[in-house]
């Protein structure tokens, strides 16, 4: 198990703040400079003290030397020993010795040192050079002393005892050991005082440096950092407001200039994006832009309406989740994926058919036209796919409206050309009937003619109602009346093929909220398909139209006992442009798709059951809009 070293924690602590790093560096440099200064000053101070003590000791030694020389000339050895002993007992003097040039101690205030031999390099140097010498040393008992060694030179008056001066230049050496504890204590006190002064200076310098760096550098950098963070978070209005002439003020001014340009550029981009969004929102078809990662980067309002989602919910979604309600990309072998085909395979343009799913889970057929487009997404240029999505049910509705408008114009012409002559004929017949000369048989024929003319006029009016332009707003529609009128229109077609139309209308069936022309068109398409399915029956078969009031819904059923729908075709019959008539004729494949669109617009449901060879039954449930007369 390893333990973290203490300085690792200090490094991490300092690494989180520039101010701490500057303070530590400054403290290290000041400590280093203070240490060097302390060493130099202490050495100089120590040298000065030693020189002063050496000078004082030499002066004392000169006096002692004079007294000792006088005693030696008089050959007063006892007196000389007494002088040495008394000198050794003086304050601040540890001991006094006199040794001959060979190092033998002849006189000493140290007990037991007489006739010992000195082993001291300083003594040897003093003998060889003949100069005075002073140095600190430690005695055998551990005491530290300042030893002064003074050579006593030979003189002419001393040659009787010591020989000629030339042969014996030094008679002996006076050794005085001074107590150096006071000197050391003084040096230590001085060094401690200098150290304390250094610490005080260090603290003051650190405090000043800390405050100066915070005020002049770090505080302003912190403000700049906060402004940068706010700008990165999206607040383009923030500025440093830097003042001054130094480098940080210039940096703040440059930052403010950059923020001004950035705000202007973002405003231009937003305006351009808004213009582009407005442009694609004006397109009636759904439009969306997809990046290589299948994410939607733009979408118009028409696409949002198609899938029943808000624009804010669409952008950023995966395309397969938005329009197909899948959790993974569509399988490219089963469906033509524009992103896969255009960006990863062949390139170019693509037109294909898809089944999209809205927010309620309902499928609807669309035609997708896709092409490659280069867009700047998240700051970089990317190849994207733009899709134009056309709702085929909407196209069918538009096509149906156009067809109904054309039929309405035709019906208006028929009403003008047929209805008016019928009215004239009816007036002539009434005029003839008013004559009293007509026989009963003639009157009977006149009555039959009036009845048939009334029937023709009723059929014309039904045709006009069927082909009328759709109302903008829904209305209360009498579903039974719509069924009866449609059956009357198809009676000729049914009679030609031997089909029997049976009505089973519930008198209590209430009105439904829809468009009258839509309801008639719904019944017409379903009944006509049933008649086509009955062509192959030898006896023509039976078409049953029924209505029922079932609480909150009104049910319409269109049932036949025709050839039925093959099981393989049942999933396709509601698709636009798919057709497969039992009589072999070719249609446009729009009838059932239009029926499904009408029922969906009325908030109803359409379903069917079919068995080949038995027949087919279409069931339509519509919301109950209240009771009414049938």
SS3 per residue for 434-495: CCCCCCHHHHHHHHHHHHHHHHHHHHHHHHHHHCCCCCCCCEEECHHHHHHHHHHHHHHHHH
Give me the pLDDT at residue 586, please: 47
Give the range among 14-28, 220-234, 437-451, 555-569 with minimum mean pLDDT: 14-28
Q: Which CATH superfamily includes the segment(s) 47-186?
A: PAS domain (3.30.450.20)
Across 178-187, 273-282, 445-454, 554-563, the highest mean pLDDT is recorded for 554-563
Pick the CATH number of 281-386 from 3.30.450.20, 3.40.1160.10, 3.40.50.1860, 3.30.2350.10: 3.30.450.20
* 197-213 average pLDDT score: 74
List, in order, residues 6 or more apart from 225 with CB less than 8 Å away: none
Q: Which residues contact 421 (CB under 8 A, 6 or more apart)?
A: none
Q: Which two three-digit tokens encode residue 293?
A: 């990662």
Domain assignments of the chain as residue spans, ordered by start: 47-186, 236-280, 281-386, 473-630
Per-residue burial over 494-516, b = 16 or more CB atoms within 10 Å of its CB, e = otherwise: beeeebebeeebbeebbbbbbbb
What is the 8-class DSSP label of residue 507? T
Residues 6+ apart with CB under 8 A from 539: 498
**Spatial separation of the C-alpha atoms in residues 245 and 214, rounded to whole Å:** 18
pLDDT of res. 87: 79
Q: Does pLDDT of 624 surpass 80?
A: yes
State the Cα–Cα distance between residues 158 and 172, nearest whole angstrom.
Answer: 12
Give the separation between CA 416 and CA 477, rounded to whole angstroms: 26
Q: Measure the CA–CA gap between 517 and 463, rounded to whole angstroms.
A: 10
Residue 628 pLDDT level (bands cut at 50, 70, 90): very low
Beta strands 500-504 and 542-550: pairing type?
parallel
Average pLDDT score over residue span 71-99: 77
Count of helix runs (H) and strand runs (E) in the chain? 19, 17
Q: What is the CATH number of domain 473-630?
A: 3.30.565.10
Point out the least confidently predicted range of 43-52, 442-451, 478-487. 43-52
> Looking at the predicted structure, is the pLDDT value of residue 406 above 60?
no
- pLDDT at position 318 is 92
* Share of residues in the chain with pLDDT > 70 (%): 72
Q: Which residue has the higher pLDDT, 35 or 131?
A: 131
The pLDDT confidence band at residue 150, using thresholds 50, 70 and 90, is confident
More confident residue, 63 or 239: 239
Between 397 and 381, whose confidence is greater?
381
Q: Give the contacts of 524 (CB within 8 A, at least 6 positions apart).
A: 466, 486, 489, 490
The pLDDT, as a whole number, for residue 592 is 77
pLDDT at 485 over 90: no
Ramachandran angles phi, psi of 338, nearest 5°: -60, -40
CA-to-CA distance for 627 and 510, rounded, in angstroms? 4
Model confidence at 439: pLDDT above 50: yes
* Confidence check: pLDDT of 56 > 70: no
Asked whether this chain's domains 281-386 and 473-630 adopt the same fold, the reply is: no
Give 538's DSSP letter: T
C-beta of residue 534 within 8 angstroms of C-beta of residue 587:
no
Whether residue 475 has pLDDT greater than 50: yes
Query: Cα 354 to the chain's mean position, in Å?
Result: 33
Report the C-alpha gap between 454 and 425 in whole angstroms.
Answer: 11
Q: Give the single-character DSSP code of 250.
A: H
Better-predicted residue by pLDDT, 17 or 236: 236
Confidence of residue 630 (pLDDT cuts 50, 70, 90): very low
* DSSP-assigned letter for residue 90: S
- Sign of the Cα torsion 257, 263, 264, 269 reads positive
Query: Considering only 202-206, 502-506, 555-559, 588-592, which range has the smallest mean pLDDT?
Result: 588-592
How far apart (Å, rounded) are the C-alpha atoms in residues 20 and 108? 63
Identity of the highest mean pLDDT range in 51-55, 127-131, 155-159, 466-470: 127-131
Q: How far apart are CA 528 and CA 543, in angstroms?
A: 10
241-253 residue pLDDT tens: 777 777 777 888 8
For the cut 60, the answer to whether the pLDDT of residue 395 exceeds it is: no
The encoded tokens of residue 575 equal: 């698709």
> Could you tell me the pLDDT band of residue 619, with boundaries at 50, 70 and 90?
very high
Per-residue pLDDT tens over the stretch 317-352: 999 999 999 898 888 777 888 888 888 887 788 888
Lowest-confidence region among 117-126, 287-296, 320-329, 417-426? 417-426
Could you tell me which residue, 6 or 593, shows the higher pLDDT? 593
Backbone angles phi, psi at 136, to 5 degrees: -80, 140
User: 47 — alpha (psi -120 to 50), left (phi > 0) or beta?
Assistant: alpha
State the average pLDDT over residues 266-273.
79
303: pLDDT strictly greater than 70: yes
Burial pattern 46-56, b for ≥16 Cβ within 10 A else e, equals: beebbeebbee
For the packed helices 591-601 and 516-533, what is the interaxial angle rounded to 10 degrees?
Answer: 140
Is the model more confident about 408 or about 21? 21
Give the chain's largest Cα–Cα span.
Answer: 211
**pLDDT confidence band for 52 (50 / 70 / 90):** low
**Cβ-contact 42, 194 below 8 angstroms:** yes
**Secondary structure of 313-342 as H, E, C letters:** HHCCCEHHHHHCCCCCCCCCCCCCCHHHHH
Average pLDDT of span 166-181: 76
Confidence band, pLDDT 50/70/90 cuts, at residue 629: very low
pLDDT band of residue 1 (cuts 50, 70, 90) is: very low
Angle at 51 between CA 50 and CA 54, to 5 degrees: 85
pLDDT at 74: 64
Q: Please report, to the nearest 10 degrees, the dihedral formed by the alpha carbons of residues 319, 321, 324, 326 taken in order.
A: 130
Instruction: Give the list of residues 6+ apart from residue 63 with CB closer than 8 angstroms, or none.
Output: none
Per-residue pLDDT band at 618 (split at 50, 70, 90):
very high
Is residue 457 very low, low, confident or very high in pLDDT (cuts 50, 70, 90)?
Answer: low
SS3 call for 257? helix
Helix axis angle for 420-433 and 440-466, nearest 10°, is 160
* Share of the chain residues as helix, strand and coil, in percent rounded to the nearest 5: 50, 20, 30
Q: Tell me, letter by letter, the H, E, C secondary structure of 171-220.
A: EEEEEEEEECHHHHHHHHHHHHHHHHHHHHHHHHHHHHHHHHHHHHHHHH
- Name which residue leads in pLDDT, 54 or 348: 348
Q: How confident is the model at residue 376 (pLDDT cuts 50, 70, 90)?
A: confident
pLDDT recorded at residue 538: 67
pTM to 2 decimal places: 0.38
Q: Yes or no: say if 598 and 479 are a contact pair by the CB < 8 Å rule.
A: no
- What's the pLDDT at 349? 86
3-class DSSP state of 101: coil
Whether 312 shows a pLDDT value over 70: the answer reads yes
Does position 471 have pLDDT exceeding 60, yes or no?
A: no
If one compares 32 and 105, the residue with the highest pLDDT of the two is 105
- Residue 370 phi, psi (nearest 5): -125, 150
Residue 225: what pLDDT?
Answer: 82
Tell me the pLDDT band of 547, cut-offs 50, 70 and 90: very high
Sorting pLDDT into bands at 50, 70 and 90, what band is 621? Answer: very high
Give me the pLDDT at residue 396, please: 56
Query: How high is the mean pLDDT of the chain?
Result: 76
Strands 363-377, 500-504: pairing kind:
unpaired
């Amino acid at each position: 198990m390893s333990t973290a070293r203490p300085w690792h924690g200090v490094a991490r602590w300092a690494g989180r703040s520039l101010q701490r790093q500057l303070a530590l560096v400054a403290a290290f440099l000041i400590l280093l400079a203070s240490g060097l200064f302390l060493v130099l000053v202490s050495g100089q101070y120590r040298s000065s003290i030693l020189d002063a003590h050496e000078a004082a000791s030499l002066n004392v030694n000169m006096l002692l030397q004079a007294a000792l020389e006088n005693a030696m000339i008089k050959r007063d050895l006892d007196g000389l020993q007494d002088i040495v002993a008394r000198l050794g007992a003086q304050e601040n003097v540890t001991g006094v010795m006199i040794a001959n040039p060979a190092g033998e101690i002849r006189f000493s205030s140290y007990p037991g040192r007489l006739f010992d031999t000195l082993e001291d390099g300083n003594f040897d140097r003093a003998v060889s050079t003949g100069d005075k010498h002073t140095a600190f040393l430690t005695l055998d008992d551990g005491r530290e002393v300042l030893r002064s060694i003074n050579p006593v030179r030979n003189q002419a008056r001393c040659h009787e005892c010591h020989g000629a001066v030339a042969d014996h230049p030094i008679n002996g050496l006076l050794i005085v050991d001074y107590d150096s504890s006071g000197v050391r204590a003084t040096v230590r006190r001085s060094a401690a005082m200098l150290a304390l002064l250094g610490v005080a200076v260090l603290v003051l310098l650190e405090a000043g440096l800390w405050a100066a760096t915070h005020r002049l550098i770090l505080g302003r950098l912190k403000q700049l950092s906060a402004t940068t963070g706010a700008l990165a978070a999206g607040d383009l209005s923030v500025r440093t407001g830097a003042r001054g002439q130094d480098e940080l003020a210039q940096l703040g001014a440059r930052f403010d200039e950059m923020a001004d340009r950035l705000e202007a550029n973002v405003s231009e981009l937003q305006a351009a994006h808004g213009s582009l969004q407005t442009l694609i929102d004006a397109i009636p078809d759904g439009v969306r832009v997809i990046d290589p990662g299948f994410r939607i980067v733009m979408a118009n309002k028409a696409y949002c309406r198609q899938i029943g989602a808000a624009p804010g919910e669409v952008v950023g979604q995966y395309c397969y989740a938005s329009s197909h309600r899948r959790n993974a990309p569509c399988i490219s072998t089963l469906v033509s994926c524009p992103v896969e085909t255009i960006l990863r395979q062949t390139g170019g343009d693509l037109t294909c058919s898809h089944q999209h799913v809205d927010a309620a889970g309902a499928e609807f057929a669309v035609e997708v036209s896709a092409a490659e487009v280069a867009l700047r997404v998240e700051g970089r240029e990317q190849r994207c796919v733009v899709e134009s999505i056309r709702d085929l049910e909407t196209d069918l509705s538009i096509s149906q409206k156009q067809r109904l408008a054309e039929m309405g114009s035709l019906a208006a012409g028929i009403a003008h050309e047929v209805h008016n002559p019928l009215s004239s004929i009816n007036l002539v017949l009434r005029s003839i009937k008013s004559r009293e000369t007509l026989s009963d048989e003639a009157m009977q024929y006149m009555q039959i003619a009036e009845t048939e003319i009334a029937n023709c006029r009723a059929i014309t009016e039904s045709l006009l109602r069927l082909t009328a332009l759709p109302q903008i707003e829904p209305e209360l529609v009498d579903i039974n009346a719509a069924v009866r009128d449609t059956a009357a229109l198809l009676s000729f077609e049914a009679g030609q093929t031997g089909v029997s139309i049976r009505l089973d209308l519930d008198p209590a069936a209430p009105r439904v909220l829809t468009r009258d022309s839509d309801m008639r068109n719904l019944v017409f398409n379903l009944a006509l398909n049933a008649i086509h399915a009955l062509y192959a029956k030898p006896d023509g078969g039976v078409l049953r139209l029924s209505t029922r009031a079932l609480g909150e819904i009104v049910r319409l059923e269109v049932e036949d006992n025709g050839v039925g729908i093959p099981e393989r075709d049942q999933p396709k019959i509601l698709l636009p442009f798919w057709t497969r008539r039992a009589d072999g004729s070719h249609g446009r494949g729009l009838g059932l798709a239009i029926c499904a669109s009408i029922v969906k617009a009325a908030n109803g449901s359409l379903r069917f059951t079919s068995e080949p060879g038995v027949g087919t039954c279409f069931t339509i449930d519509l919301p109950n809009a209240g009771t009414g007369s049938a």
